[in-house]
Amino acid sequence: MAEEVGLRGYRVQDPARTQARRREIMLAMAEVIIEKSYASATLEDVATHMGTSRAVIYYQFRSKEDLYAEIVVEAVSRATERLEAILERGLPPEQALYAAIEDLIEVGMEPLNRSTLLTGRPKALSSDARARIKFADRAYERLLTGILLDGIASGVFTDRDPRFLRYTLMFAVNGNFIWRRPEGPLKADYILKESPRMLLNSVLAHPCDYHAHGDTPAAKSLTP
């Protein structure tokens, strides 16, 4: 079996430990970004947050940009895996989209993801970093677009441009992590409860079918 070689050409003797260390660094960077912003964060801040030296970080990542790009790729890849798991359940489009929005909100509350939502995709990133991030983004976007196309084709969703629908939904979900203060009056549980149904109402062709009317129960359900 070929030996695994690290960033600086060293032999990786314990790959699992190395991966754990990388994730520790990424999480520390995410927490620094949440506290200070990406523009203000430095690798010295990350090292201080971890109680270590910058050499430990440079052992794993080439630069602040390289570290941030890896955080974004990791966050988006995990979200993509979770969306793939939702699709494997074989749900109808409206239930799949509801679950996808709910999951996008839940995963956005995790520090790794929240740091990327607060930062976005800085224009100052190199073309290589932007390409890595774009490749990860496209994988998630293709899956979400597939749900929308299925719903439009079956008449469940309104017949609008799927890209318009996708970006509108994603920005609506991700935006709440920018304007909402965790310590503010609107709590995470409220956002998680209200956002999926509110956003589904904006794309359903017949939203009334999914709501009770007086004593008459809803004809259809947005949840399995």
- CA 46 – CA 57 distance, rounded (Å): 8
Q: Is the dihedral of CA 204, 97, 194, 27 positive or negative?
A: negative
Residue 90, pLDDT score: 97
Mean pLDDT of the chain: 91
- CA 9 – CA 85 distance, rounded (Å): 36
pTM value? 0.87
| Mean pLDDT across 29-48 | 96
Residues 6 or more apart in contact with residue 193 via CB below 8 angstroms: none
- Please write the tens of the pLDDT for every residue from 43-90: 999 999 999 999 999 989 999 999 999 999 999 999 999 999 999 999
Strand partners, 97: none
Question: Percent of the chain scored above 90 by pLDDT?
Answer: 77
Question: Percent of the chain scored above 70 by pLDDT?
Answer: 94
| Mean pLDDT across 106-133 | 93
Residue 2, pLDDT score: 40
Phi, psi dihedral angles at 38 (to 5 degrees): -65, -45
2 versus 211: the higher-pLDDT residue is 211
179 versus 151: the higher-pLDDT residue is 151
For the chain, the three-class secondary structure string (H helix, E strand, C coil) is: CCCCECCCCCECCCHHHHHHHHHHHHHHHHHHHHHHCCCCCCHHHHHHHHCCCHHHHHCCCCCHHHHHHHHHHHHHHHHHHHHHHHHCCCCCHHHHHHHHHHHHHHHHCCHHHHHHHHHCCCCCCCHHHHHHHHHHHHHHHHHHHHHHHHHHHCCCECCCCHHHHHHHHHHHHHHHHHHCCCCCCCCHHHHHHHHHHHHHHCCECCHHHHCCECCECCCCCCCC
- Please write the tens of the pLDDT for every residue from 120-141: 999 999 999 999 999 999 999 9
What's the token pair of residue 5? 């070689």
Residue 3, pLDDT score: 44
